[in-house]
Structure formats: structure tokens, C-alpha cells
Structure 1
Amino acid sequence: MSQTRIHFAAEKTVAERLYALMEVAFEDDGFPIAIFATDEEERIHEVSIYVDDNVEATEERMRALAAEADERVDLEREVLGDVDWVARSLEGLKPVRAGRFLVHGSHDRARRRTPDIGIEIEAGLAFGTGHHGTTSGCLDMIDRVVTREKPRNALDLGTGSAVLAIGLAKLARIPVLATDIDAVAVAVARENAHINGVGHLVETATATGFHHPVFAAGRPFDLIVANILAGPLMKLAPDMARHIAPNGSLVLSGILERQRNAVLAAYVGQSFRHVRTLPREGWVTLWLKR
């Protein structure tokens, strides 16, 4: 099947900001997204999204995201041949280090060093390769929290590829519940956990919100990690409070720097206190305690 590349050019700062917004907005769709410089001297960068169908709808979403950021983009299309662009777009990605973790594909196993906690994630249908600032920020924060607190169990809410759940299970050697609203993501997460040798520690479930019985069976959690978006995180604050253990910790991400205070306010209202903020690539990861 042929694919369509929808792309636009913009000044570097604008392009990077829109790229970050679109990467999060389209994460559930699994569309490969790329950014590269087309004119270094003039600081012009091009952002591309690769889609199989629904081209017009995708263009409308791209324009809406740009408008929300007070930017206007001139979109262009290019019809491409029959290529697996998901795999192609990730082939060139280098391993990512975050804390003690090294996130890599199978072709980069040899890059692991003795102290590394390797997390092997391949190109696939679920979001989370460690390259996005929110994912690497969560891994870095997980390393800090686990080292200090030694949690006995954990929840990875909105697990995607299970990169965070795998990291938690490998680092802390504790049971981790990994949930997502997307059944395809959950299947990928389960397979990734087995590939990484922690299938016996990571339980996966397709669940929306905290209404699924699997949450009641596992609560309270010493540590909850949620790398989703600021809006859903704020709505989930009361449920987070009900499912966290006394003195437990939250690691939250998917939050733009400008959204930090609003998210903090929602959780302070549920008797959480702020411990640390880790900024990365225009995003922040929060560590909160109750």
C-alpha cells in the first residue's frame, strides 16, 4: 500500500515546537513523524507525517494543532511507494540513555555496557521508543525514585510499548501492572515484556480510567507512572489519590512546560506535594508524593 507524506517547512523554533505537539497528538495513531533541517543557514526545518489513509482528516488535525499554537502552516503532500515507513523511520534511531537505562533495538544489543539496564524495543504499533523527551524523562525520574524509595509494586498507566513498565520491573524487580486503553498497544506491551525477560513481573490489561477490576486487585500502588497528556492527568488526580499507597510517589509526564503549574494545582488539591521537576525538550516530568 502506498503512503502519503504530509509535510510543512517553518523556522527552526516553530518547527520544533509543532513537531513536539504533533508527536504527542498522533501517538495513538502510530504515524511516523520526522523533522530535519532543509536550510541550516536560514534555520528552516521540515516536519513530515507519514499516513496510509485519512489524509484530509490528518491535515485538518495538523492545521488545528498549529492554530492552537498560534502558528499557520502550509501543508504539502507527497505520495510514496510501498515501504514500511514505521520500520524505516526507526532504523536510524540511536540507543537512548536515561539514568541507568539504555533503550535500544535488537540491532544495537552490542552497545550495552555491563552497568546498563537494557530495554529492547523494536519498531511497532505502540508508542514509546525512549526517544521522546517525555519517555526519557520518565525513565530518568524512575531511576531516581526507585533508588531512593524501594517501592514494592507499581502501575504504568497508559503503557504504550511498556518501555516504562519494563524499566521498572528490571530495575526494582517488583510486580508492575501495565495498562492502556488500546488493545493493540497492550498486546505489544505484553510481547515486549517477554522479550525483555520480565513477562513474569509485568501484568498487562486493556483498561480505561480506573474503573477496571484489575486496578482494585493491585491497589494500593507504591509508585504510579503515567506518561499521557496534561488534560487527562488533571482529570485523573482524584483517582490517583485513591489508588496510591500512603507516602507513595507519582511520576507524571506528557506535560508541556507551560502546563506544569495547572497539573501541579490539580494534584496539590488532592494532597500531593511536589518533589522534583525534570525539564526535557520543552516537556516536564513531575515527581509528586502523597
Structure 2
Amino acid sequence: MLEGLHPVSPTHLMRLETSERAARRVADIVSETFDPAETAVAAFEAPDGKIWLVEVFFREQPDEANVRELVRAAAGDPVAACLTFHAIESKDWVRTSLDGLKPVQSGRFTVFGSHDRDKVALNAIPIEIEAALAFGTGHHGTTLGCLNAIDRLAKRGRAFRPLDVGTGTGVLAIAAALRHRVPVLASDIDAISVIAARENAVINKARAYAQVIHAAGLKDARFRRGAPYDLVLANILPRPLVGLATDLVRLVAPGGTVVLSGIIPPHANLVISAYRDRGLHLVSRQLIEGWVTLTMQRGR
């Protein structure tokens, strides 16, 4: 499943096995067409390395004919004919969200499920995540890119006021809290995600550091009360990243750092431009598993 999207309570799944090029085209057009609060899209290489898989989770039953038409426009008739649709239940997603997932190492962080507690190195910063119905298990390139950035930035200096926008499972907020030992404000548009993030903060003994709020956008007065932030994390999608640019940059302290992800390469320059126009400059651009993570900084 794709970390970086707003979480959903999925009831239906679309699945496709195809080539890498077709998979990326299909994932792109579906993610750009459907409301990210209603769908979650992932495109990834199969374990055997021979094919790519596309999985789209829908909150409500989709119009299959409409989805096939979108896929046909993006990748052609043969690919559209290979789509399969399945009804799923919430309990199935909870059970399968961690099945087969192994601990993931990113800098000093190790992200793992409860079934792998005994496999974490003693010198690692452990983050135990039970994904349930929210996104963010650490196994996707967007989350890995953000974790890498958090760890890399911590080596240069301590962040004192981090903000995590679109927190999902809370993995990035927890990582920032544990790495810097400072309070972190985290938000999400989805109520289930807020519950999951709060529970994960308790599991990781970070409840005293992580405040998770239910909020859409950045207009809520609680964001302003905690501002300015010297580290802002936003692992969502290009469209909402661009839409949030003005409000987000207003919350950033002079010299503060912004880490943006959930971006496919063709959209990276659009996001860079939106934030550059508002006074940020690009520090680094990292590509992991076909997903871009941008580190940008506000001038002093």
C-alpha cells in the first residue's frame, strides 16, 4: 500500500499485473483522478522482479467501467482488460497490512511490526508500527525518503519544533520525536489515522512528545499556536502539496527545513517551483523506488 496518501477504510481493491511503464502510467492517472481521501494507490515491483503490480484501494465501490476507461486511456486496451476488482473487509486489511513485512532500516531507524520485535538491532532507534487502517509502515519509498531526511538532518543539528502534516500511522512524527526528544505536532485529515497515530505513539513511548490532531489543511489555530516550525514533514501527494504551499511556508521558521514526499519524478519540478516561489530553496532531491523526496529550506 502507498504511504503518503490520506488513509481510507477500504472496501474494494483493484489489482493489475503489468510492465513497469504501464504500472506507473496507471498509478499516475488513478491518483490524479480520484480524491486521495477516498482512494490509495500503489505501484511496485513484484518480488520475482519480472512484473509490476498496481493496487488501488477504494473507500466505496468504484465504477468499474469508468476505472477501466481511465486505464485504457493511460496504458491501452490490453492493460485495461487485465484489471481485477475485489470486495474486501476492514478486518482483512488489518490482518494483511503487516503480513510478510520485515523490519526496515533507514539511517538509525528500524521500523517493524510487533511480530519482529526480536529482530531489531540494539543500537537502532526502534519504531514499532501497527498499520491497521492508516498508512505508513516504513516499507514504501516515500516513507523511507522522509526517514532518511530526518536522520540526516539530525546529524547536523537538533530540531526543536517539528510538524508532521498528513501523519498517517504517525511514523514520521514518532521518528522526529525519538530522534530529537522534543514535542512534535502531527495532523491528519482522516480520523482513523489520528487514532492509529496516537496508539502508535503510546506503543513507542512517544506519547509525551507527539500531539496528534484531526485537521484538514493548515488553517486550524493549533498550527499557528505552535509556529514557527524548524522542521516540517509532509508526505502526501503533489496536488495537496502545491495547494498547501502558501499556508505551510507561513508556518516555517527562518532557516527552517521542509521535507516533502509522495511525489513521482514528473511532478517534482512542479512542487519545487511552488515552494521556491514562496521563499524556499532546494537542498536535496532523493529518489527511492521511483518516488522523490525533496528537502527544502527557508532563507534566514
Q: Same fold by TM-score, threshold 0.5 exceeded?
A: yes
Instruction: Give the 3 Å change call, closer, same or farther, for CA 46–219 of structure 1 in structure 2.
Output: closer
2:38–2:60 Cα contact (<8 Å) kept = no
Deviation at 1:239, TM superposition (A): 1.3
Give, in whole Å, the separation in 2 of the partners of 1:67 and 1:288. Answer: 37
1:13-63 deviation per Cα after TM superposition (whole angstroms, max 9, x unaligned): 4336646876897874586968675997xx445545566x84333674575
Distance across 2 between alignment mates of 1:273 and 1:82 = 42
2:107 is the counterpart of 1:99 = yes
Pick aligned residue for 2:155 from 147, 150, 156: 147
Q: Tell me if the contact between 1:138 and 1:164 (Cα under 8 Å) persists in the aligned partners.
A: yes
Tell me which of 166, 174, 177 is aligned to 1:166: 174
Measured after TM superposition, the shift of residue 173 of structure 1 is: 0.4
**Residue-by-residue CA offset, 1:219-241 (whole Å, 9 max, x unaligned):** 00011000011111112221122
Structure 1 residues not aligned, in runs of 5+ = none
The 3-state SS of whatever aligns with 2:136 is: coil
Which letter does structure 1 place at the counterpart of 2:291?
Answer: W
State the SS of the aligned residue for 1:90: coil
Change (3 A) 1:176 1:261: same
**1:19-38 map, 5 Å:** 28-29=37-38
Q: Of 123, 129, 144, which aligns to 1:121? A: 129
Q: Percent identity over the alignment?
A: 41
The yes-or-no answer on 1:202 pairing with 2:210 is yes
State the AA in 2 paired with 1:130: G
Closer/same/farther in 2, CA of residues 80 and 289 from structure 1, 3 Å limit: closer
- TM-score under structure 2 normalisation? 0.83
Distance 1:216 1:111, change over 3 A: same
Aligned twin of 1:261: 269
Whether the 8 Å CA contact 1:256–1:283 is kept in 2: the answer is yes
Query: Is the partner of 2:62 in helix, strand or coil?
Result: helix
How far is 1:91 from its partner?
1.0
Structure 2 residue 116 is the aligned partner of structure 1 residue 108: yes
More moved, 18-27 vs 92-101: 18-27
Give the secondary-structure state (helix, strand or coil) at the position aligned to 1:73: helix
Q: Which of 172, 186, 198 matches 1:178?
A: 186
1:23/1:33 contact within 8 Å kept: no
C-alpha deviation, 1:69, in angstroms: 4.3
Bigger relative CO (Cα 8 Å, ≥ 6 apart): 2
Find out whether 1:57 has 2:67 as its counterpart: no
CA distance in 1: counterparts of 2:89 and 2:297, whole angstroms: 50
Q: 2:259 aligns with which of 224, 244, 251?
A: 251
2:179 and 2:223 mapped to 1: Cα distance?
22
Structure-2 change in CA distance of 1:79 and 1:222 (3 Å): closer
* Runs of 5+ unmatched residues, structure 2: 1-10
TM-score, normalising length: structure 1: 0.85
In structure 2, relative to structure 1, the CA distance for the partners of 1:12 and 1:178 (3 Å cut) is: same
Q: For residues 32 and 249 of structure 1, what CA distance do their matches in structure 2 show? A: 28
Q: Distance in 2 between matches of 1:131 and 1:86?
A: 16
SS class of match (1:130): coil
CA pair 142-21 structure 1, distance change in 2 beyond 3 A: farther
1:81 and 1:247 map into 2 onto residues whose CA distance is 46
For 1:177 and 1:80, the matched residues in 2 are separated by 33
Q: Distance in 2 between matches of 1:81 and 1:165?
A: 28
Of residues 67, 87, 92 in structure 2, which corresponds to 1:84? Answer: 92
For 1:82 and 1:266, how far apart are their aligned partners in 2?
37
Question: Counterparts of 1:280 and 1:269 in 2: how far apart (Å)?
Answer: 26
SS of structure 1 residue aligned to 2:80: coil
| Cα RMSD, aligned residues only | 3.1
Q: CA deviation at 1:201?
A: 0.4
Letter in 2 for 1:183: A
